[in-house]
């Protein structure tokens, strides 16, 4: 897929000014505070940001799975031209696991410990399609083969605790693929696994999505993971997208100081093993955030102007960033 295509085809998902807040005793936690995202059919988007930046909550908001005290207070989510926020719970349910699927971070916690794998897969099929148990089992079996699970019939009869972490995560991915969704939200699905399995799974998911034309949002705090996987990157900081663009563009010519910090903290071939450059400071605690750029306490370019929240700056067709004083140099 070439960059031109991504922008011209009608978007599969369009998120505009999404605000999801949690009402706690200490005040409103603005976990997601004005997120804009756009995703073309079949496109792979890497959503990057450090812990607490609001990546998971963005994903759950799209699925309509925000529980009290959380609430979507503003914004717009369109999937395939349909307004998700206006949907009734019943319509949303028929969408979940069917058109939009998820994979969670921790494979040891996403499968129900007291139910067999086949139960958990078959019910996922039959929640959306009136097929026989046998037909559903057959489909489960096929998908397990697809995600590289040997002797699937045996695995289907297992309880989750009888499987390794990597195996469980493959099964979770298989469940996401069961109903041939148009969008998969993968929320750090490999962080709990060791590096070699991580690489394998990322490779497999990528080729499966390419094969079926499934769009993918891959959530991570690890930019290195994204670099070889995503068409586009969205960098999230304190509840906002601070920079988006084509993967190569963003990695080689970051505009936002935070993106640059992230890139510099990734070990490259030559510096592997050396101490990583860390972005100094911590993610601000969300209730304390006031007006202005949320990154300014940690930013080496900050000026008085940064007390005012920066607007989105457009750069070409596909680049966007929110910063008053972008890292102008493409000269690395």
Partner 1 sequence: MSTFVINRLLQAFLVLLVMSVLVFVGIYLVGDPISMLVSPEATDLERDAVRESFGLDRPIFVQYVTFLGSALQGDFGRSFLTGEPALQLILERMPATVELVGFAMFFSVVIGVPLGIIAGLRPEATYSKVIMTGSIFGFSLPTFWVGMVLIMLFAVQLGILPTSGRGETVQVGAIELSILTLDGLRHLILPALTLGLTKASLIIRVTRAATREIQAMDYIKFARAKGLSSSRILRVHLLKNVLIPIITVAGLEFGQALAFAVVTETVFSWPGMGKLLIDSILTLDRPVVVAYVLIMVLFLVLLNLVIDLLYMVIDPSSREKVRD
Q: Which residues bind partner 1 (CB under 8 A)?
A: 63, 65, 68, 93-98, 101-102, 104, 106, 109-116, 119, 123-124, 127-128, 159, 161-162, 172, 175
What residue ranges bind ligand SF4 (CB under 6 A)? 256-257, 293, 295-296, 299, 301-302, 306, 310, 323-325
Distance of CA 290 to the CA centre of its chain: 26
Query: Binders of ligand ATP among 55-114, rule CB under 6 A?
Result: 55-57, 69-70
Q: Which of 49, 64, 160, 189 binds ligand ATP (CB under 6 A)?
A: 49
Query: What's the Cα-to-Cα distance from 37 to each of 34, 227, 233, rounded to whole Å?
Result: 10, 19, 10
Name which of Mg ion, ligand ATP, ligand SF4, none residue 213 binds, using a CB cut-off of 5 to 8 Å depending on partner kind: none
Opening angle at CA 63, ends 59 and 64, nearest 5:
115
Asked if residues 235 and 260 have their Cβ atoms less than 8 Å apart, the reply is no
Tokens of 290: 């006031």
Integer Cα distance of 279 and 48 in angstroms: 15
Q: Which of 6, 53, 214, 244 binds ligand ATP (CB under 6 A)?
A: 53
Asked if residues 239 and 53 have their Cβ atoms less than 8 Å apart, the reply is yes
Name which of ligand ATP, ligand SF4, partner 1, none residue 37 binds, using a CB cut-off of 5 to 8 Å depending on partner kind: none
Scanning the structure block, which residue is given the tokens 């207070």?
A: 73
Interface with ligand ATP, residue 221, by CB under 6 A: yes
Closest distance of CB 187 from partner 1, Å: 10
Name which of ligand SF4, partner 1, ligand ATP, none residue 95 binds, using a CB cut-off of 5 to 8 Å depending on partner kind: partner 1
Handedness of CA 228, 230, 234, 237 (dihedral sign): negative
Closest CA to 210 of 43, 17, 14, 19: 43
Q: Which stretch binds ligand ATP (CB under 6 A): 50-58, 83-91, 128-136, 153-161?
A: 50-58
Q: Which of 29, 37, 45, 172 binds ligand ATP (CB under 6 A)?
A: 29
């Amino acid at each position: 897929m070439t960059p031109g295509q991504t922008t011209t085809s009608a978007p599969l998902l369009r998120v505009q000014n999404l605000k999801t807040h949690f009402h706690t005793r200490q005040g409103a936690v603005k976990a997601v505070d004005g997120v804009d995202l756009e995703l073309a059919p079949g496109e792979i988007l890497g959503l990057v940001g450090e812990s607490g930046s609001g990546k998971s909550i963005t994903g759950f908001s799209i699925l309509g799975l925000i529980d009290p005290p959380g609430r979507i207070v503003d914004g717009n989510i369109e999937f395939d031209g349909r307004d998700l926020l206006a949907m009734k719970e019943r319509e949303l349910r028929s969408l979940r696991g069917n058109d939009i699927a998820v994979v969670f971070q921790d494979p040891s916690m996403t499968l129900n410990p007291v139910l067999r794998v086949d139960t958990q897969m078959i019910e996922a099929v039959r929640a959306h399609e009136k097929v026989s148990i046998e037909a559903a089992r057959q489909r489960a079996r096929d998908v397990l083969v697809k995600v590289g699970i040997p002797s699937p019939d045996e695995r289907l009869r297992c309880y989750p605790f009888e499987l390794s972490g990597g195996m469980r995560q493959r099964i979770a991915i298989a469940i996401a693929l069961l109903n041939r969704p148009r969008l998969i939200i993968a929320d750090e699905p490999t962080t709990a696994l060791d590096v070699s399995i991580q690489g394998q799974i990322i490779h497999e998911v990528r080729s499966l999505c390419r094969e079926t034309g499934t769009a993918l949002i891959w959530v991570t705090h690890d930019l290195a993971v994204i670099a070889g996987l995503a068409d586009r990157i969205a960098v999230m900081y304190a509840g906002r997208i601070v920079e988006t663009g084509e993967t190569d563009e963003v990695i080689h010519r970051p505009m936002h100081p935070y993106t640059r910090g992230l890139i510099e903290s990734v070990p490259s071939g030559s510096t592997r093993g050396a101490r990583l450059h860390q972005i100094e400071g911590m993610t601000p605690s969300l209730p304390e955030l006031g007006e202005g750029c949320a990154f300014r306490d940690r930013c080496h370019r900050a000026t008085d102007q940064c007390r005012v929240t920066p607007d989105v700056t457009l750069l070409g067709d596909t680049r966007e960033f929110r910063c008053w004083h972008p890292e102008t140099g493409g000269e690395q």
